[in-house]
Every structure is written in C-alpha cells, then in structure tokens.
Chain A
Amino acid sequence: MKRSYVVLCRCAALLICLGICCGCGSPARQVELLNVSYDPTREFYQQYNAWFTRTWEEEKDSRVLIRQSHGGSGKQARSVIDGLEAHVVTLALAYDIDGIAEHTGLISPAWQTRLPHNSAPYTSTIVFLVRKGNPKQIRDWEDLVRPDVEVITPNPATSGGARWNYLAAWGYALLKELGTLSPPPGDADSAVRDAAEEKARDFVSRLYKNVSVLDSGARASTTTFIQRGIGDVLLTWENEAFLAVEVMAQSGVEIVVPSVSILTEPTVAWVDGVVEKRGTLSEARAYLEYLYRPEAQRLIARHYFRPCTPEYADPQDMQRFAALRLFTIEEAFGSWRAAHEKHFAQDGVFETLFKGAS
C-alpha cells in the first residue's frame, strides 16, 4: 500500500517534468558553446553573443547558449591545450591558435583559410599613448629612440601584445630603410635586405634602451603608465588606447598615431575536435561566420576594433580610426612562426638586445 503510493508519486513527478519540458514551446534544439577569448574583447563579445543568440533563434528556431572565457591570449591557448573544451577560440594572435593546432591536433592546420580575411573578422593596430598635450612632442616611431623619452611596453616573453609592439617597431625601421616591403623576406635575401635588418636591429635596440619597465601583460603596462604616471609614451593596441582615453576621461592621456604601424590580426577558429565530439559544428561555424555580417561589423567598429568590411560600420565610428600605412606580419616577417623563431625564441634577437647590457 505504502510502496505503491511512492511509485505513483514518482510517476506523477516524472510526467509533470516531461510536460514542462515539452509543453512550453521550447526550441527543438539547444546547445552550449564555449568561446575562449583574450582580454580586450570582453565588452564586444558580451554584445555580440546577445545579438547572435537572438538571430540564430529567429532563423533556425534553435537556442544557443554562449559562455565566455577571457584572459591573456597565450594563457588561454594553453588552457585549451591542457584540455579546456573550447568550441571556438578567438585569440590575439594566429601564433596562439597555431600552437593549439600543433600541440593537440584539435584544429585543422589549414584553419586560417576557412574564413575570409585570414580568419580575422576584425583587426587593430599598435599606436602610442602620450601625456595630455604631448609635452615631449612624440609624433612618430623616430621620437621613441630620443634619449629623453621613456617608453613603456610589456615583456614579449609573457605578453602577446608586447610581441606586436616589438614587431611594429621593427617593421617601421625596415620600411624606412627599404621604402617597400615587397617582395617579402625569404624571396629576396639580398644584401640590401640584410643591411636593412641590421638597421632595424639597431633601431629596436635603441628603443628598448628607453624602456624602464617591462610588465608581464598589456593591462599591467597600461596601469604603470596611467595610474603610476611612469614613462612618456605607452605602446598599445589601438582598441585599448581608445578605451583608456574614452572610458577613463580623467586619465590625462591622448592618442598619437604613427605614420606606419603593423596590422594586428586577432584570429578566430572553431575547434574541430571538440565540435565534432559535441555535435555543435553548425552552431560554432555560424557563430564565427556571423562575425562577418553587417550587424556584427557595425558592433565591431563600435567597440574600437577595425572591421574587415568598413562599409557596414557606422561612418561616425569609422571616423575615429586614423588613416596610416599598415603592414602585415607576412609582408615584413614572412609568417608568425618565422618572426617567433628569429626574434622571441631562446637566443632570439630580443634576448640579445639585453645581453651585455647589465
């Protein structure tokens, strides 16, 4: 008697649960995606995720729940290598996604050709942040090697942004010597090119002599420059610079855009190994492909990144971006891998800049 009552109760509970699940008209399919990203994209993806979830539900009648993870780009890549189940990765440099592909095989080696524009739906560049009124009259890269200028940039060993800064300076010096960056290195290892590389080494070496603090990350450098008031100029991402100027209006800094800089391409990829296992390939793929849609491009420009198709963006947002000569890493260095080997690996050029200096 008592036992059958319990069974009855359980059945009833189960039925009610089932009824709730089927009854309230929920979408046919519901999946969860984890987007592993780097620090400065936090605000952008918050908005983009809301838009994407809405659009996807309208178009496909299926619900996607997107979870975000942010941190230093290299650190995030390492988490994925160590087993964090990311469905998509949206990191600061292609080198980090290459790292995941190489160490885990979870991402197809040809990932960068799967999406338009080198798999970079938004780009940025490296600019200068100086004190209000620009008291040291810093206008271009050449001013950074003046003996009276103190430069702040993070340590390339621990910061992806710092590597972009370093490569931007090197590329500037190359371009100044050669006048052009074509053909890319490797094709023409002529004496002229070697001489220019030597000049670039000298320029970068003088620049890093003016650096007094190499913080471990880009945000830490921003703090050193703005909060502690150390240094005359900070090398930083353009999107970070805008954030510093517009969000912290009282920070007393302004942006100086050099004549030439590097085109930084934060890249995106879906993680084949994970989305195949979870059966979320169509959602993960769409999540990245939709980044190229007009609405997303508009949102990108609003959050201080340069959209890959500027026509879609609000012209007012586009006005904020100064025109300058941008070179890619392929133009100046061949590839990320080549740049890494030559400059940042053990016994690379960066290390030799400091040897004998102590």
Chain B
Amino acid sequence: MRLQYRQRHFMPGFGISLGYTVFYLSLLVLIPMSVLGLKAFSLDGQVYLDILRDPRTLAAFKLTFGAAFAGAGINLVFGFIVAWTLVRHPFPGRRMVDALVDLPFALPTAVSGIALTTLFARTGLIGRMLEPLGIQIAFAPAGVIVALTFIGLPFIVRTLQPALEDLDPEYEEAALSLGASRLRTFLTVIFPSLRPALLSGFALALARALGEYGSVVFISGNMPMRTEIVSLLIMGKLEQFDYDGATALAVMTLLLSFMILLFLNLLQWRLGRRTQQGG
C-alpha cells in the first residue's frame, strides 16, 4: 500500500514541496489571518450587533457588494469580447492591445482613481458630456461601479485567454456544418467549455473589487449612506483608534466574501462534474 502510494509520485521531492507549500502559505496567509481571527474572537458580541444595526454600515455593505457584483458582471460580458477578439482575430497592433489589458494591474490604484475622477467629474472630458443628460458618474454610486470595472478587467481577460486558445475552432466548424445555428453553437459548444474560466475570472474580479480602497475613495465622494464603501469605514474607524470596530467590520467583510467565493467554487465543481458525466 505504502509502496503504491510512493510509486504514484514519480517526480521526486513531494515531501519537501508540500512542506514548503504549508510553510509559505502559513507565513503569508494563515498567520496574518489568524491574528485577525484572534482579535475577532476577543471582541464582545455587542460590537458586531452594533455594526449590524447601524444603517450607515449596512448601506456601505450594500454598495460594496452590489457594485462589486455589477463591476464583475460587466467585465464578464465585455471582458469576454476582448479576450475573444484578442485570441481569434489576429489584427495589426494586437500585442499592444494585449499589453493594455494589464494596465489596471500595474497602475497604483490611487492613480487610476484620480484619472477616472478627472474624466468623469462634472468638468471632465466625459463628465461634461454626460451632465446635460442628467447622468452623474463621479461622486455617485455609478462611479464606484466604474472604478471596480476598471480594476477587474484584467482578471477576466487573462483567465479567459488560455481557455479560448485551447478551444479548437474545428468543433465550432463541425457544429456549424452539422446545421447548428450560430447561437446554438455558442450556447452548446463554446459556452460550456469556457464556463470554468468564466466563473473563476468572475470570482477573481469580484474578490479584487470587494477589497478595493485606493481608486474608489477618489471617485465615490464618500457620502455617508450613499457612496461610502466598507473599506473606507474600516479606515475611518482605524483613524479614530476604534480598533475593535475596525476588526469587526473586517471580519464580516471577510466572512461574506469567503462565503461568496466558496459558493462560486462549489458551483464550478458541480458544473464541472455534470459536464464530465454528460460528455
């Protein structure tokens, strides 16, 4: 039995790499998280209740999660189009465009926040055109969505690209030649094989958006009850030395995010199994 177990890992160094993984993850993720956990358990339950009852906090939670979902959703559609174009349609300057996609990764978030605000403010290049139409983006909830869409784009495109590259056009051609409509080809041939990549891209963009601070605080206007995000409230509590309140808020954001990500992962796992069984 033991021998069999050993034989499976024909690559050497399993023990050392597992040890390294555990050590590295502990150092980077588990230890910082457990410090937060320890602090969280030492808190009085009243702190959590106070926060849950506070309408300002609830409004911030609603905005943060709502805008993060909206941003990731928008990216899911438009990021897909970008990835599709980049993979399937070679055009001059494609490498340039490809590099542009990574820009939101590299830009300090404060810089992107200020740039977006400059564009969308009442006096900005885009804001000026939208104002007569009665549309306000900067200093309104819509601004938060714009910022979160911006920072989330690379996550969707970069997870979709390899999946699209693996997708052989011959399958689509076969489906089309067998008489399937374009829509049907997309829904039954292309979409199922891209679903795992779409889901994990969505989850990554969502997770990134939930924790965003730098870019949002510039464009949102930070009005209580209207455009305050949870990270700003956490910063505010720290700024006033309310460490307990800040911890409680952080723990609740973390729990909610964790549940959403877990749900997305489970969904992926189930869908994956069904596809395997079905195919």
Given A351-B224, A355-B55; A230-B121 close (CB under 8 Å): yes
Q: Which of A77, A212, A223, A355 contacts B221 (CB 8 A)?
A: A212
For chain A residues 136-170, which have a beta carbon within 8 Å of chain B? 155, 157-160
Q: Do residues B54 and A347 form an inter-chain contact, with CB atoms below 8 A?
A: yes
Chain A residues with CB under 8 Å of B155's CB are none
Q: Do residues A216 and B224 form an inter-chain contact, with CB atoms below 8 A?
A: no
Q: Do residues B117 and A228 form an inter-chain contact, with CB atoms below 8 A?
A: yes
CA distance A230 to B223 in the complex (A): 15
CA distance A306 to B124 in the complex (A): 37
Chain B residues with CB under 8 Å of A228's CB are 117-118, 121-124
Q: Do residues A216 and B235 form an inter-chain contact, with CB atoms below 8 A?
A: yes
Q: Do residues B235 and A158 form an inter-chain contact, with CB atoms below 8 A?
A: yes
Is A229's beta carbon under 8 Å from chain B? yes
A72 to chain B: closest residue by CB: B239
For chain A residues 189-232, which have a beta carbon within 8 Å of chain B? 211-216, 220, 223-224, 227-230
Q: Do residues A214 and B223 form an inter-chain contact, with CB atoms below 8 A?
A: yes
Q: Do residues B117 and A355 form an inter-chain contact, with CB atoms below 8 A?
A: no
Given A213-B139, A340-B240; A346-B54 close (CB under 8 Å): yes
Q: Which of B56, B123, B233, B238 contacts A229 (CB 8 A)?
A: B123
Chain A residues with CB under 8 Å of B122's CB are 228-230
Given A157-B233, A358-B226; A213-B221 close (CB under 8 Å): yes
Is B71's beta carbon under 8 Å from chain A? no
CA distance A354 to B222 in the complex (A): 12
Chain B residues with CB under 8 Å of A351's CB are 54, 56, 224
Is A74's beta carbon under 8 Å from chain B? yes
CA distance A255 to B187 in the complex (A): 64
Q: Do residues A75 and B121 form an inter-chain contact, with CB atoms below 8 A?
A: no
Q: Do residues B222 and A216 form an inter-chain contact, with CB atoms below 8 A?
A: yes
Chain B residues with CB under 8 Å of A75's CB are 239
Chain A residues with CB under 8 Å of B236's CB are 155, 157-158
CA distance A344 to B232 in the complex (A): 15
CA distance A228 to B218 in the complex (A): 12
Is A310's beta carbon under 8 Å from chain B? no
Chain A residues with CB under 8 Å of B114's CB are 223
Is B225's beta carbon under 8 Å from chain A? yes
Q: Do residues A212 and B56 form an inter-chain contact, with CB atoms below 8 A?
A: no
Given A158-B239, A346-B245; A357-B217 close (CB under 8 Å): no
Is B199's beta carbon under 8 Å from chain A? no
Q: Do residues B55 and A346 form an inter-chain contact, with CB atoms below 8 A?
A: no
For chain A residues 267-303, which have a beta carbon within 8 Å of chain B? none
Chain B residues with CB under 8 Å of A344's CB are 240
Q: Do residues A214 and B56 form an inter-chain contact, with CB atoms below 8 A?
A: no
CA distance A81 to B218 in the complex (A): 27
CA distance A212 to B220 in the complex (A): 10
For chain A residues 225-251, which have a beta carbon within 8 Å of chain B? 227-230
B55 to chain A: closest residue by CB: A355
Interface centre among B59, B217, B228 (most CB of A within 10 A): B217
A159 to chain B: closest residue by CB: B239
Q: Which of B59, B123, B233, B237 contacts A230 (CB 8 A)?
A: B123
Chain A residues with CB under 8 Å of B217's CB are 215-216, 220
CA distance A167 to B253 in the complex (A): 32
For chain B residues 93-122, which have a beta carbon within 8 Å of chain A? 114, 117-118, 121-122
Is B5's beta carbon under 8 Å from chain A? no
Q: Do residues B56 and A354 form an inter-chain contact, with CB atoms below 8 A?
A: yes
**Nearest-CB distance from A42 to chain B (Å)?**
19
Is B50's beta carbon under 8 Å from chain A? yes
CA distance A85 to B223 in the complex (A): 35
Is B10's beta carbon under 8 Å from chain A? no
Chain B residues with CB under 8 Å of A215's CB are 217-218, 221-222
CA distance A224 to B54 in the complex (A): 29
Chain B residues with CB under 8 Å of A212's CB are 139, 221, 223
Q: Do residues B225 and A157 form an inter-chain contact, with CB atoms below 8 A?
A: no
Chain A residues with CB under 8 Å of B221's CB are 212-215
Is A176's beta carbon under 8 Å from chain B? no
Is B241's beta carbon under 8 Å from chain A? yes
Is A320's beta carbon under 8 Å from chain B? no
CA distance A167 to B221 in the complex (A): 21
B139 to chain A: closest residue by CB: A213
**A339-358 vs B: 1/0 string, CB under 8 Å?**
01000111100110111011
Kindly list the 6 A-B residue pairs having the minimum CB-CB distance in the complex, ordered from nearest.
A157-B236, A74-B239, A354-B224, A358-B225, A213-B221, A99-B241
* B residues apposed to A, CB below 8 Å: 50, 54-56, 59, 114, 117-118, 121-124, 139, 217-218, 221-226, 228, 232-233, 235-242, 245
Given pairs A230-B122, A354-B225, 5 additional interface contacts (CB within 8 A): A74-B239, A157-B237, A220-B218, A228-B121, A354-B224
Q: List 16 A-B contacts (CB under 8 A).
A: A78-B239, A81-B241, A155-B224, A155-B228, A157-B232, A159-B239, A212-B221, A216-B232, A223-B114, A228-B124, A340-B240, A345-B240, A346-B54, A351-B224, A355-B56, A358-B226
* A residues apposed to B, CB below 8 Å: 72, 74-75, 77-78, 81, 99, 102-103, 155, 157-160, 211-216, 220, 223-224, 227-230, 340, 344-347, 350-351, 353-355, 357-358
